[in-house]
A = this chain, B = another copy of it.
Amino acid sequence: MTTTTEVDDSMRNGVDTATLFATLDAVKQAPEAAKFQFRAHNQWQSGTHNRGTIADYFGVGEERTHERTFVFDADHPAVLVGQDHGPTPVEFVLHALAACLTAGLANIAAARNIKLTEVRSTVTGDIDLNGILGLDPEVRNGYEQIIVRFTIKGDAPADKLRELLEQSRARSAVYDVITNGVPVTIEVDAA
């Protein structure tokens, strides 16, 4: 029983809380370890179809690679003059937001000793394509608004489950990027 309890305690919600807290302590001692650079590579295929690969990154002081190379096609559907080989680029943004809030929520629940049984979400983004089509200068290119709807079930009262999501939002990298923006520099080698 003791052994089982210890395993449960250190692996709540599939989160290795012992490692999580050890990582926090390590970064407190060496803040430079927390400087990461993430990367995505892309190669145009044809028309609006292109292929992204995610593999290498820098973190904890050295170059690293994911355990495998992740490959993602992006495209437009036929109604937007593509061939639907993958989601549109703007859909990947919504996926990123849901994924970030969900991962944070699971970590925070584990740290607060709350067992989750279900976490589902749908993210919607409203966009008026008169913007990117250049047909209405009053319309922006990007989403006008994004709405995230979560369903969370677990062994804590509803207000405690809501607080998990609020803390996840307060510490979400993607939520910060989308709501506050990031400076982007573009360089070109053309021949």
Contact = CB atoms under 8 A, between A and B. Distances in A.
Contacts of A120: 41-44
B102 A87 contact: no
Nearest to A16: B81
Interface string A102-121: 11111100100000101111
B27 A118 contact: no
Interface string A162-183: 1001000101111111111111
Interface in A22-38: 23-24, 27-28, 31, 34-38
A9 interface: no
A73 to B, nearest CB: 9
A146 interface: yes
Interface of A: 13-16, 19-20, 23-24, 27-28, 31, 34-50, 52, 54, 57, 59-60, 64, 66-68, 70, 72, 74-77, 79-82, 84, 86-107, 110, 116, 118-136, 140-153, 158-159, 161-162, 165, 169, 171-191
30 contacts: A13-B46, A14-B47, A19-B81, A20-B81, A34-B129, A37-B126, A39-B91, A44-B116, A52-B95, A54-B91, A64-B79, A72-B95, A89-B103, A92-B93, A92-B96, A93-B174, A125-B182, A133-B171, A142-B176, A143-B177, A146-B184, A148-B184, A148-B185, A149-B187, A151-B190, A161-B191, A175-B184, A177-B178, A179-B181, A179-B183
